[in-house]
Structure 1
Amino acid sequence: MLFRVYQRTIHSLAFYPTLIALGFVFACLLNISIEYQPWLMAIKSKFDIGLVRSADNARLILGTLVGSLMSLMVFSFSMVMVVLNNAATALSPRVMPGLVSSKSHQKTLGFYLGTIIYALLLITTIEQNGGDKVPSLGVLICLGLGVACLGLFVYFIRSISQSIQVEHIITNLYQVTRRKLDASICKMAAQSPAPSWPDDQKWLQIRSERSGYFKEINASLTNELLCEHDLKMTIQVHRGFFVIEGHPLFKLDRKVDDNVVNKLLDCFDFFIEEYPSTHYLFGCKQISEIAVKALSPGINDPGTAIKSIDMLSVLFSQRLNLPTFDFSELEDEPPRLFINELPLDQLLQQVLGPIRTYGAADPSVLVSLLQAFKNLLHQNPKPEHKEQLLRHARSVIESADEHLATPRDREEINDFIERINSAAKESLPALSRIKTH
């Protein structure tokens, strides 16, 4: 339960603003507690540059600052909503959770909110009758925070203007997904000998008690339970798989009591949002959806689709180095937790299949897909991966044969067929040419 609450919290728009605002509250309370200490009063009497002595002036400055920052914060929130609406309309609704959870935007909004709270708390300490006690140091700090907010506003506008650009979003998705793939490759390389999927055909099968998209598992708590009870566990579904109640979820190498099973079931998290920082599959799918959206008649932007295909080809070249399963590493012993991964053939179908379908009548898109498969064949893939790549290349050629009527376009497809055959290094041509007339 706590793991699921934690996952929802860290991806919430209010996470960083709340933390930063609480930090400002504690800083303001500290400021108020030392404002009238004798040692600080002595320092302020010697260095009074920029310090406000009048209670009315202090109240006016803080009130003006609060009103201005509230307007600034409302405008900033409005800009975020504009970006989210644009992303949902022009790109894909699936990219919205990633934009909402953008740490830079959250920190900027949190700084605004914290400064407003800081100023409001200081106003409450100013006496109504205009007494001698004026929080001059606090007012000076608030002025500095106000100037910092103006600088952050300029940064925020620049960041928002970049966030609207499709190239920026695709690049961010690519970088996050690439880091997840690199981390998986490094984790696999660090294991000696390399782990393999255990023979779990006769293991105890546990069914899901909830419905939803399997997105994450609390690996640390799961490993703790597995080590405590000397168990091994294989998760039968891949991340992103929609599990219904009663569907086989995982297997254990021996029978255990229901209490342990319930604790293991509670380690699973099911939610709808897709965060590329959770798993590389979600990043690949979001890039694919942006490409499909770009190929729609309302947008008609094949250039974005081609860039997406190029990015995906690099990501797939990294995916070729991974097996069809993931695992959770332990320090002093072999892994006990194994997680099923989407096979390469299905991954290619889910990610590149929609692009091929919606771009079937665009020769530039089909050529880019063939170029991607050619580049992947140059990575010296395993024999089974090589056959899967050629299989999907044939699907692209079949789409071209069905939808392209211009001889020049068909000649271009044949040219790439020859290049793929050369990269495949087969004794006989792996792919057949299409007729040009």
Structure 2
Amino acid sequence: MIGRAGLRKAARRARGWLDSFWFIPSACILAAIAAAAALVEVDRRFSLGGWLPGLLELGVSGSRAMLSGIGGTVFGVAGTAFSITISVVATASTSYGPRLVRNFMADRGNQVVLGVLSATFVYSLLVLRTVKAGGQEAGGDFVPHIAVYVAILLAVADVFLLVYFINHIATSIRVETLSRSTRDRFVDAVTRVFRERDPERPAEPAAEPVQAPAEGVHVLRARAEGYVTNVDGSLLRDAAAARDAVLALDVGVGDPVARGERVARVWSETGAGLSEDDLAALDRALRQATDVAASRDPHRDVGYAEQQVVELAVRALSPGSNDPYTAIGAIDELVPGILLAVTRQAPPRLLADDAGVTRAAIPRVGAAEVIDLPFTHIVPYALGQPLVLEALVGMAGRVLRRVEDERLAARLRGHVATMVELVERADVPGADAERLREAAARLP
């Protein structure tokens, strides 16, 4: 139990490192230090310059000038690239929302460019210090030919990287690129949380909704502050079953918690009561099963991943932007994730043991919440934008063609009917309102 929780937390920490802006550049710099030491040592031992003098011969002064020029130029380019990245991040934060800054900081292209440029500077500096001039008594001149030529190759590669970076940074700030990036995160989150339907797989054990008893209920409180980023339901179920208890979480993935706040209730399933040891064990299991981080993480937080796409539409509809076409594009990008959610199996909210007894209740985001979010968040800002409202109706139609659960279909039609009713109450031109009603009437 502890090992599984430790591995999960280690994986989350490693994912956070990879998404940070420092990890890959730091790895490149360490690789440059190791490469400089290794190649210089190879030159010392085998004197490769003497074997191939016509190809590899470089003098002391020429090598020093070459390495100094490469190091100084690349360091200046790295500073410029870093400044451009920070400028783009600031612009994107203002235009598209601060939550999208994560996309730029986690962009592998930006990380690799900064890492290789920084590594070239460090590599050139370390090789430069080994170039020596001296007489016979001092051992003679020493030029690490292989290391110098590798520095030249790195400089050539940096030129290509600079050209790539200029194109990449210009492309990454386009709204189409941002929409596609947020869409991919939304789809990835749904794929991780919602599992595929398997007709041959036996159904989950039936479990009645959890009702806490009037007495004997114990409260478990949070010991950290932040946002819940993951909940291991099977770990909670097994821990509760081992003590013949029921554990009901009050918070789910994406919910904020504060130190000392109630996050769960536990009670004995048989009414026999729980000992102090049982409560301590369940409290440990709760801390092992739940991850709390300083900010929300779209990795398994479906609601947050969907909100990032929706935020593009909402910001595009602000008076300062007034860009309905960006909002329409963001609505279109919601469809792949919503289709996955309504065609896959949502995670269970009630977890039962082998005997069918409910052992854990966990708040989860289901297909219904995924359907609700675009309408509840976008419609209030789009009542004056008939084109955006029509795009929402079009999104509903695309989802209705795939949805099999009639309750979800009725929920979608209800959102569209409410939207049409709001338009009729608002001061919307008659032709636009009529066009919206016709679009709603054509829904499957």
Q: Shorter chain as normaliser: what TM range?
A: 0.7 to 0.9
Determine the structure 2 residue equivalent to 1:416.
439
Is contact 2:227-2:296 (8 Å) kept? Answer: no
Report how far residue 188 of structure 1 moved. Answer: 5.7
Query: Structure 1 residues 297, 228: closer, same or farther in 2, change over 3 A?
Result: closer
Instruction: Give 1:172 deviation, angstroms.
Output: 1.6
Change (3 A) 1:397 1:113: same
Which is worse superposed, 306-315 or 139-148? 306-315
Tell me which residue corresponds to 1:126. Answer: 131
2: CA distance, partners of 1:109 / 1:167: 24
Task: Classify 1:183/1:116 alpha carbon distance in 2 versus 1 (closer, same or farther; 3 Å).
Answer: same
Q: Report the CA distance shift for 1:251/1:404 in structure 2 as closer, same or farther (over 3 A).
A: same
Asked whether the 8 Å contact 2:186–2:298 carries over to 1, the reply is: yes
- Aligned position for 1:111: 116
Per the alignment, residue 34 of structure 2 pairs with 26
Change (3 A) 1:324 1:123: same
2:96 matched residue in structure 1: 91
How far the C-alpha of 1:346 sits from its partner, in A, is 3.8
1:315-334 matches, within 5 Å, as 315-325=337-347
Q: Within 1, Cα distance between the matches of 2:290 and 2:428?
A: 51
Identity %: 22
Candidates 407, 422, 440, aligned match of 1:384 = 407
Does 2:193 align with 1:168? no
Show the 5 A alignment for 1:16-415: 16-37=24-45, 40-41=46-47, 43-127=48-132, 129=134, 131-186=140-195, 189=198, 192-195=201-204, 201=211, 206-217=220-231, 223=235, 230=242, 235-250=249-264, 256=278, 258=280, 261-262=283-284, 264-266=286-288, 268-325=290-347, 340-415=363-438
Q: 1:288 to 1:152 in 2, by over 3 A?
A: same
Distance 1:225 1:24 in 2: 48
Q: Is the 8 A contact 2:316 2:326 kept in 1?
A: yes
Structure 1 stretches lacking a partner, 5+ long = 424-437
1:432 alignment partner in structure 2: none
Q: Which ranges of 4 or more aligned residues in structure 1 deviate by more than 6 Å?
A: 231-234, 251-254
Q: Is the 8 A contact 2:236 2:285 kept in 1?
A: no
> Quick one: distance in 1 between partners of 2:143 and 2:298?
50
For residues 124 and 318 of structure 2, the distance between their equivalents in structure 1, rounded to whole angstroms, comes to 50
Q: How many positions carry a matched residue from both structures?
A: 411
CA 261–65 in structure 1, closer or farther in 2 if over 3 Å, else same: same
Indicate how the Cα distance of structure 1 residues 326 and 56 shifts in structure 2: closer, same or farther if over 3 A, else same.
Answer: farther
Q: What is the aligned partner in structure 2 of residue 426 from structure 1? A: none
Q: What is the aligned partner in structure 2 of residue 427 from structure 1?
A: none
83 and 146 in structure 1: CA distance in 2 versus 1, 3 angstrom threshold: same
**Cα distance change, pair 264–73 in 1 and its aligned pair in 2 (3 A):** same
> What are the Cα deviations for residues 333-353 of structure 1, in whole angstroms up to 9, with x where unaligned?
x9x988532244444443332
Unaligned runs of 5+ in 2: 1-5, 269-273
**What amino acid is the match of 1:403?**
A
Q: Which moved more, 1:67-76 or 1:406-415?
A: 406-415
Match of 2:271?
Answer: none
Q: For the residues of structure 2 that align with 1:311 and 1:379, how far apart are their CA atoms?
A: 16
SS in 1 for 2:32: helix
C-alpha distance after superposition, 1:186-226 (max 9, x if no partner): 56649932446855545976332233221235x59x85995
What is the CA-CA distance between 1:166 and the residue it aligns to?
Answer: 0.5
Change (3 A) 1:407 1:227: closer
Q: TM-score, normalised by structure 1?
A: 0.83
1:103-159, Cα deviation, whole Å (9 max, x unpaired) = 221122111111111111111212264842111110000110111111111111111
With over 3 angstroms needed to count, the CA separation of the structure-2 counterparts of 1:235 and 1:103, relative to structure 1, is: farther
Q: Deviations over 1:251-285 (max 9, x none)?
A: 67866352662364155333354443443332211
State the Cα distance separating 1:179 from its structure 2 match: 2.9
In structure 2, how many angstroms separate the alpha carbons of the residues matched to 1:201 and 1:326? Answer: 17
Whether contact under 8 Å (2:225, 2:257) holds in the other structure is yes
Find the residue that maps to 2:220 and give its secondary structure.
strand
Q: Provide the C-alpha distance between the structure 1 equivalents of 2:200 and 2:305, rounded to a whole number of angstroms.
A: 26
- TM-score normalised to structure 2 length: 0.81
Give CA-to-partner distance per residue, 1:225-270, whole Å, 9 cap, x none. Answer: 9589957976543321122334443567866352662364155333
In structure 2, distance between residues paired with 1:191 and 1:27? 54
Compute the displacement of 1:399 (Å).
2.3
Do 2:67 and 2:151's aligned partners in 1 also have CA atoms closer than 8 Å? yes
